[in-house]
């Protein structure tokens, strides 16, 4: 497994690490430590490394315009690519009936937030768990604006959870 992580990280890493050594694993800082901070500057990683982490975790990743889309089961994690110090947008999507779609997102949310180094991951996951039955909700946690949207009366019902980096100042959304 560590070989797969090394290969995935090396294959998608940027030129910020010319030695070719794998970056320190995300477990170097515990999830509790990351979730207790509002700014996670030391843990920031670019979109390419988030995609590498999702790939190493078993997600299947591809591209659609400005987004990398990584899927696991019924959930797709969209990561806005670019040269930011961290992705300005990370969103999770699942199609289907509202209850099932939100439950599917809830299953992968903690892991996706950890891989993307979104803090405070635990508070965001707990907040999401409290939104059962709602079609829209939003909260600000740390540096992130978090928005839930559930489509119920459409041709493609489903749930969408978007996290936008409030510190991003340029090229913060896809064109």
User: Quick check: bond before 159 cis, omega within 30?
Assistant: no
Helix segments in the chain, DSSP class H: 2-12, 31-35, 47-56, 98-115, 121-129
Within-domain flag for 92:
yes
Within-domain flag for 151:
yes
Within-domain flag for 64:
yes
Q: Which of 11-20, 98-107, 144-153 has the lowest mean pLDDT?
A: 11-20
Distance CA 15, CA 11 (A): 11
| pLDDT tens, position by position, 107-142 | 999 999 999 999 999 999 999 999 999 999 999 999
Kindly provide the b/e burial profile for residues 15-37, where b requires at least 16 CB atoms within 10 angstroms of the residue's own CB. Answer: eeeeeeebeeebeebebeebbee
As for how many domains the chain has, the answer is 1
| Containing structural domain, residue 115 | 2-13+42-165
């Amino acid at each position: 497994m560590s070989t797969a992580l090394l290969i995935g990280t090396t294959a998608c890493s940027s030129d910020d690490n010319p030695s070719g050594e794998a970056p320190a694993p995300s477990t170097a800082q515990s999830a509790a430590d990351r979730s207790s901070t509002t700014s996670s500057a030391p843990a920031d990683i670019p979109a390419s490394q988030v995609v590498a982490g999702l790939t190493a975790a078993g997600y299947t990743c591809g591209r659609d315009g400005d987004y990398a889309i990584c899927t696991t089961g019924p959930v797709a994690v969209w990561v806005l690519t670019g040269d930011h110090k961290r992705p300005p947008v990370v969103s999770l999507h699942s199609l289907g009936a509202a209850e099932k779609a939100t439950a599917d997102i809830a299953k992968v949310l903690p892991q996706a937030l950890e891989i993307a180094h979104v803090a405070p991951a635990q508070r965001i996951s707990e907040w999401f768990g409290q939104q059962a039955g709602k079609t829209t909700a939003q909260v600000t946690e740390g540096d992130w604006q978090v928005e839930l949207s559930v489509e119920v009366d459409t041709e493609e019902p489903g749930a969408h959870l978007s996290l936008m980096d409030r510190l991003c100042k340029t090229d913060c959304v896809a064109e």
